[in-house]
Amino acid sequence: MATDRMAGRPVHNRCPSDPTSSQMAMLEKIAGVMVGEVYIDQIGYEGDADWIKCHVGGFSDPYVAIHLEANQNRLFDGQEIRQWQILAAAKHPKGGGLWLHDLKNAKEPVSHCGVWFY
């Protein structure tokens, strides 16, 4: 596990690799909308680096997803919503984390953009 290389910032990376600049910008927007700190738990999923698993300190994942969904106009600029998915488990005893998916390089077409429960 890497040390926090972003001390003093609203996003804290606990992974050995770094998010892309666009992923970091979206994570910072999430922190701003939540008025909290985002912790990156995992970068990549099944070999796809466009996924980031994270959580917001002090808030449950379902609460974060509901709050982000209600504030999508603050989170996404114009058509930017088509470039992102933010997913949260609808029913998971420990929350399951939030998954940020950068769709710019998606290998398969995606019909659901924005904030969603899975």
pLDDT the model gives residue 111: 74
pLDDT the model gives residue 1: 35
Q: List CB contacts of 39: < 8 A, sequence separation 6 or more.
A: 11, 12, 14, 54, 55, 56, 57
pLDDT the model gives residue 55: 95
Q: To which residue do tokens 């019909």 refer?
A: 111
In this structure, CATH architecture of domain 11-117: 2-Layer Sandwich (3.30)
Q: List CB contacts of 53: < 8 A, sequence separation 6 or more.
A: 40, 41, 42, 45, 97, 98, 99, 100
Please name the amino acid found at residue 7: A
Under a CB-based contact definition with an 8 Å cutoff, are residues 99 and 115 in contact?
no
Q: Measure the CA angle with vertex 72, ends 56 and 32; round to 5°.
A: 40
Using DSSP's 3-state secondary structure scheme, residue 50 falls into strand
Parse the chain into domains and list their residue ranges.
11-117
**How does pLDDT run along the chain (118 residues), one tens digit per residue?**
333 444 457 999 989 999 999 999 999 999 999 999 999 999 999 888 999 999 999 999 999 999 999 999 999 988 888 899 999 987 766 568 899 999 988 777 677 889 988 8
